[in-house]
Amino acid sequence: MWNTVLFDLDGTLTDSGEGITKCVQYALNKEFGIEIRDLHQLDCFVGPPLKEQFMRFASLSDAEGDRAVAAYRERYSAVGIYENRLYGGIQDLLETLAKEHFTLAVSSSKPTVFCREVLRFFGIEHYFTSVVGSGMDGSRVEKDEVLSETLRQLGMEDMRDEVVLVGDRNYDVIGAKKAGIASIGVTYGYGSRQELEAAWPDCIVDSTTELRNVLLGQAHPENILPPAGYGFHPVRPAAPYEGNALFKIWRVFYPMLLYFAVSMAASLVVSAVLILIGIFMKGSAFFNYEDIYNSIMGSVLLMTGVADAVCAVLFYFFYRSDERRRTVYYPEKRVLRKNQFSAFSVFGIICLTIGASVLVNTLISSLNIQDPAFESSQKSMMENTGFLQQFIVIGIVAPACEELFFRGLIYRRLRDYLGVTWAIVISGAVFGIFHGNITQGIFAFLLGMLFALIYEHFGTIWASLTAHMANNLYALIMDDLLGNSIPDSAAYIMLGLCTALMFFFAWYFFWNEKRVNRF
């Protein structure tokens, strides 16, 4: 039986959204010039640890997160803390539970000093035996840490089966599980029923009246229970995210079948259009195999661009769907946190990628690995297309499609099932095989692993997309514009410079910078 109830504060006892979101809006604008007009975009700040949410929302560094929190507290301590209201029925609920001799406490990720001021402001502080929040110095911000301290203060560390946490977000439920206590999710706060169900609390209620019924009902089992479906909503298990091994393999690789199908359809459509144009322009004179063949072969890059553009849109929706499911069902395990991704990061990624590209190409050349058939077809395709078309297709459209495909879908899904290391290796191998020739295959395998590592470090697909575009545009400029015009001495100097920059930024990103994702 639960005789000790720990309450979250924001979104459970009080509707503090107005004050919190306005203070977040103030901090982002003051410190970083980020203007958020719609305060509902900032509802995600109600509940989670503040600094962590700032870093995730605005891609801030650790130090920038501290600045944001300081600016937030500047307004919150003076104004925002009072832009708040009690949820309907909370006063009566607390009075009833106190009369029934429940031990009540507050366990919040908000600093303790602010928690006490909110409770004092609403005149409900006397109901609580203990009030525990985070420290103003950034300590004890995780929910399970707050709960453990609350249990220690209440002397309930060895009686955890008698304690229940009431909260409105999945963070509360997850923290309760880590602390070894039960949890009740409330939907009248800022967490949706779907979010709460996915975290699997002991039950979910939709109002303070239902919360009262659950707590009093379990405390007095001798009383007649209310009709089924009233007041108490048992939680169904979270929806299955994956099935057996065969389903997992299918889920990882079916996008490749879709890509081939779209590529085939694009080839047929473009070929048909070219034939119709040829007939319109030349009439029956167009009907010779050489003209048709040359017309189609001269449009291979166009076909590729059309297929990649269509697939990029499809893969984007698959990718967004995956990210939403990970957020709901596996918020701790599978969701990538965003690291700092600034203009300097973009510059570093470009240098790192070009350096790796030059080094790998030099290695392949020294091993005399060649594919004459591929090189001949590649040369023919490039000669039959202009630079602008190459720039758009090879430099922009293809990287967008392939990053959503190989990193956004294949790598992330492999990561879900096999972990980071195997996902990097296997997705890199698939990326290499996909290119269909030995020369590009080896290059794509090594660079594909680098792209996945960059994606993992920065936690955003934009980072690996930047790397992929840098690689393709560098190759395009070197092959199409400069060709063999670079003297050997300049080539050696460039090789040394690119290699030095590559090692520097590899050290800077993967060893020196803060690692927000584990790999």
Report the pLDDT value the prediction gives residue 376, as an integer from 0 to 100. 64
- For residue 197, tell me if it sits in a domain: yes
Q: Are residues 74 and 90 in the same domain?
A: no
Q: At residue 130, does pLDDT exceed 80?
A: yes
Do 96 and 208 lie in one domain? The reply is yes
Long-range pairs of 493-501 with CB within 8 A, sequence gap ≥ 24: 494/358, 495/358, 495/359, 495/362, 498/351, 498/354, 498/355, 498/358, 498/359, 499/355, 499/358, 499/359, 500/355, 501/351, 501/352, 501/354, 501/355
Q: Indicate if the pLDDT at residue 331 is higher than 80.
A: no
Residue type, 517: N
Determine, yes or no, domain membership for 236: no
pLDDT > 60? residue 42? yes
Answer yes or no: pTM beyond 0.85: no
DSSP SS3 for 13 = coil
Last residue of a domain, one of 34, 49, 82: 82
Q: Indicate the range of 115-124, 258-267, 296-305 predicted with least confidence.
A: 296-305
Say yes or no: 270 and 253 in one domain.
Answer: yes
Contact 68, 31 (CB under 8 A): yes
pLDDT (tens digit per residue) in 453-477: 999 999 899 999 999 999 999 988 8
**Residue at 232 is within a domain:** no
Residues 6+ apart with CB under 8 A from 198: 170, 238, 239, 328, 329
Say if residue 74 is in the same domain as residue 104. no
Is 52 part of a structural domain of the chain?
yes
Last residue of a domain, one of 176, 202, 219: 219
Residue 231 in domain: no
Mean pLDDT, rounded, for 225-229: 46
The catalytically annotated residue of 8, 10, 172, 202 is 8
Asked if residue 66 and residue 44 are part of one domain, the reply reads: yes
The mean pLDDT value for 94-118 works out to 92
Q: Which residue has the tokens 């203009």?
A: 343
> Do 285 and 312 belong together in one domain?
yes
| pLDDT (tens digit per residue) in 159-171 | 898 999 999 999 8
User: Is 136 found in the same domain as 204?
Assistant: yes
Name the 3-class secondary structure at 74: helix
More confident residue, 259 or 236: 259
Residues 346, 410 share a domain: yes
Nearest in space to 189 (alpha carbons), one of 42, 12, 8 = 12
Domain boundary residue among 82, 116, 134?
82
Residue type, 426: I
CB 212 within 8 A of CB 93: yes
Q: Is residue 240 part of a domain?
A: no
Is residue 335 pLDDT above 90, yes or no? no
Residue 211 shares a structural domain with residue 314 = no
The verdict on whether 92 is a catalytic residue reads: no
Domain count, the chain: 3
Closest Cα partner for 360 from 282, 440, 269? 440
Q: Please give the residue range of the domain that contains residue 170.
A: 4-11+84-219
Q: Is residue 490 over pLDDT 90?
A: no
- Asked whether residue 194 falls in the same domain as residue 337, the answer is no
DSSP character string of 428-486: HHHHHHHT-SHHHHHHHHHHHHHHHHHHHHH-SHHHHHHHHHHHHHHHHIIIIIITT-S
Average pLDDT, the chain: 84
- CATH number of the domain encompassing residue 52: 1.10.150.240
By three-state DSSP, how is residue 208 classified?
helix
* Higher pLDDT among residues 45 and 484, named by residue: 45
Whether the pLDDT of residue 224 is over 60: the answer is no
Strand, helix or coil for residue 110: strand
Residue 233's pLDDT is what?
Answer: 45
R_g of the chain, CA atoms, integer Å: 29
Do residues 92 and 64 share a domain? no
**pLDDT beyond 90 at 272:** no
Closest alpha carbon to 190 in 18, 50, 321, 6: 18
Q: Residue 168 is part of a domain; what is its CATH number?
A: 3.40.50.1000
Single-letter amino acid, residue 64 = E
Q: Any idea how long the chain is?
A: 519
358 with 465, same domain: the answer is: yes
229 in a domain, yes or no? no
Q: Which run of H or of E encompasses 355? A: helix 343-366
The per-residue pLDDT for 482 is 52
